[in-house]
Amino acid sequence: MSIPATQLRPGMIIKHNNDLHSVFSVEHRTPGNLRAFIQAKLRNLRTGAMSSTLPLADPIEKVQRG
């Protein structure tokens, strides 16, 4: 199920770059005269590595738990 980046919430599990990630934090940024974007910190569930993704303009694949 695809969702826009504005609907990301901490704790969600998403598929990004063919890996499952847990959303650690989400921030809506508006730097000066530039366009607004969403900055999210993601934790890779396979490796445990943290990454910061800028910007998340494309639809994001949300994974259903269960």
10-45 pLDDT, tens digit per residue, is 999 998 888 899 999 999 888 888 888 888 899 999
Q: In the chain, which ranges are continuous DSSP H helix?
A: none
Question: Which residues face 15 on adjacent strands?
Answer: 20, 61
- Round to whole Å and give the CA distance between 26 and 18: 20
Question: 56 pLDDT band (50/70/90 cuts)?
Answer: low
Decide which of 53 and 17 is more confident: 17
Token readout for 58 is 């494309």
- pLDDT score of 65: 74
pLDDT the model gives residue 43 = 93
> What confidence score (pLDDT) does residue 66 get?
64
Q: Which two tokens stand for residue 35?
A: 């366009």
**pLDDT at residue 62 tops 60:** yes
Q: Are 45 and 22 in contact (CB under 8 A)?
A: yes
